[in-house]
Amino acid sequence: MTKISTELEDEAPEPEFKPLTPQEAQVWRMKNPTTSPWLILAVQVAVAIALALLVGVLSGRSAWAWSVAWGGFAVALPASLFARALSRQMKIGSSNVALAGLFVWELVKVVLTVVLLAAAPKVISELSWLALLAGFVVTMKVYWLAWYWSAIRSRSV
C-alpha cells in the first residue's frame, strides 16, 4: 500500500486550466481556421454533378446518371437545410437552445434523407439502386475531404 501511495505522490499534479489571452486565442484561430458549411455543400453538389455526368457519359445510360444525381441530392438537400437552420440558431446565443436545435435539425435531416431515398423509385424511372448508392456515398464522403483539406490548411499556417 505504501508503494502505491508514494507513486501517486511522486506524480506531478496536473496543471490547472488556464484561459487563453485574446492574443493567444487569435493565434489559435489562425492556426485552426474553420471550414464553411456552405463551401462543403458547394463541393458536395459539384461532386454529385460531376459524378452523375461521368456515369452518364461512360455508361451511356441516363437513368444511371439520374440515379447518381438523386443520391447526391439526397445528401445535399438535407445538409443544406441543416446548415441553414443551425446558422440561424447560432445567432440566438443560448447554448441550451442551440443544443436542442442541433438534435432537432439532425433528426429532420435524417428523416428528409430517408424520405428522398424512399421517393427515388417514384421520381426516376428505371432507377439503379447501385448508382444511387454510389452517388449517395461519394457525396457523403465530401465531409471527410473537407476535414482533410482543413487539416492540411491548418498545418500550412
For the chain, give the percent of residues with pLDDT over 70. 85
Section 70-79 average pLDDT: 96
Specify the pLDDT at position 101.
Answer: 82
Q: Are the beta carbons of 112 and 79 closer than 8 angstroms?
A: no
Mean of all residue pLDDT scores within the chain: 85
Q: Are the beta carbons of 56 and 64 closer than 8 angstroms?
A: yes
Give every CB contact of residue 55 below 8 A, 6+ residues apart in sequence. Answer: 64, 65, 68, 131, 134
pLDDT of 77-134, one tens digit each? Answer: 999 999 898 888 777 767 777 788 889 999 999 999 999 999 999 999 899 999 999 9
Section 12-17 average pLDDT: 68
Angstrom distance (rounded) from CA 49 to CA 73: 9
Indicate the SS3 state at residue 60.
coil
